[in-house]
Amino acid sequence: MGDKSQFYRGTLEGCILKIINDDEVYGYEIAERLKKYGLNEVSEGTIYPLLLRLEKNGFVDSIKKESSFGPKRKYYTLSNLGREELNDFYNNWQELRNSIDKIFQDYKGD
């Protein structure tokens, strides 16, 4: 299981929803925050299709705003439906984490 990308794929949307829940942010900023939390392998090329899907599903709203560094930026905020999705993700994550913690509670590694 050396390739973390498969593992990340199932949880990345929930992480993005959480970041958007905290602040109105644009795509590059989301990538930088993910890196700050240790998800260094997640590229902007991965994030933008996810943002498009989240927007299409009604979980996020977007607005273009002027930028002092070039063209307008697309900023994302969480919709009410997105907050529900974030809550569902978090509850499912807690259940999964608790189960995995139980499985590995006596595992010491090599």
Give backbone dihedrals phi and psi of 84, rounded to 5 degrees, phi first: -65, -45
Q: pLDDT tens per residue, the chain (110 residues)?
A: 455 666 666 699 999 999 999 999 999 999 999 999 999 888 888 899 999 999 999 999 999 998 888 889 999 999 999 999 999 999 999 999 999 999 999 998 87
Q: For residue 20, which of 28, 30, 34, 35 has the smallest C-alpha distance?
A: 30
- Helix 27-36 vs helix 44-56: angle between axes, to the nearest 10 degrees? 120
Q: Which domains does the chain have, with CATH numbers?
A: 4-103 (1.10.10.10)
